[in-house]
A = this chain, B = another copy of it.
Amino acid sequence: MISKRRKRIGVLTGGGDCPGLNAVIRAIVKTAINIYDYEVMGFLDGYMGLVYNRFTKLSLEDVSGLLDKGGTILGTTDSFDPFNMMVDVNGEKQKKDMSRHIVDNLNMHNIEGLIVIGGINTISTAYKFTQLGIKIIAIPKNIDNDIPGTDSSFGFYSALNTATKALDKLHSTAESHHRVMILEVMGRRAGWVALQAGIAGGADIILIPEIPYDINSVIRKILDRKKSGKNFSIICVSEGCRPKNDAIEDAGEEKGALNTLSNSISAKIAGEIEAITDLETRVTILGYLQRGGDPSVYDRILTTRLGVEAVNMAAQGNYNKMAGITNNQLSPVDLSEVAYKCKNVPVEGELVKIARNMGVGFGD
């Protein structure tokens, strides 16, 4: 039996998984119970758990040992929109707005506030629920780092570790075989992963959505290196990058998935390099390896900070905001400033400049 006296908050994880989800759940539950004596209800598989009323009450025991475990004990759902859910109606697939179910379920459970851990899509959906009267605090999660209102979303630095180590590994093959090695990393519409992994992994060329590339410029850079005695090159490609003059097209969340392997942007680039130069060019698509595994040290601390802050915000009634970190300080930001937006790499920013200083080519 669930007590009626203690204040109750809900929590769910939405969108693609990434390292640190469990760590943030742990921080929320520990703070909520130890500091505020709240009850915490975890809804399963993102908003889907709220539609179908599938949940678990979270205890200190449930979150013990979760700090360094990848994945999410609550499960998650990608590309699920409760305002436009695909449902079977008399054997036919139809879109249906299930938001009312969710509002009703939250009320039924006497959830005072809901902590939503997710990326832009999950937070944008959360913003819509605030307009239905639901009190929400969001925590920015994704490996793409494209969420506005925070220095970095958790998961990003863990993915960066994976991408940088992959570049380290490709170096030896590139040098031994005098090849062009391309690594395609995630990032959707933003180039943060490619840019920072490229800097940290010593890439020679970095291609990001924010700086459309000219294949001739890319090839010129490779040939310049060859002339100066470096007969190999490493290219770090963001899945969302595109050539100049190309029709702009959003990279979907599932760019790394099955059906797009054949027409990946890096395969296209490799083909063009091999067609014009005589250099063997090989592609590696890092894919899901970027989402898995244990959170990095940075992300373990970041998730703990964000989880604590979210519960503090709930305790203060500071709702309808995202728990963000700006200039390394906690700084809640209105959901309206986050929803439906995208934080891109500033093309004249310091990081692009230092990469250029290091001799990196951006294909522009």
Contacts and interface: CB of A to CB of B under 8 A. Distances in A.
Interface of A: 13, 16-17, 19, 21, 27, 30-31, 34-35, 45, 65, 67-72, 75-78, 151, 157, 160-162, 164-166, 168-173, 175-178, 181, 196-197, 199-202, 256-258, 261-264, 267, 270-271, 274, 280-285, 287-289, 291-293, 296-298, 300-301, 304-305, 308, 327-330, 350-351, 353-354, 357-359
A357 to B, nearest CB: 5
Nearest to A196: B301
B305 A350 contact: yes
Contacts of A351: 301
Contacts of A329: 327
Given A282-B257, A297-B160, A328-B328, A71 B172 contact: yes
A192 to B, nearest CB: 12
9 contacts: A30-B358, A34-B359, A70-B172, A71-B172, A157-B297, A169-B289, A169-B292, A200-B300, A284-B287
Given A30-B359, A261-B264, A288 B298 contact: no
Contacts of A287: 282-285
A279 to B, nearest CB: 12
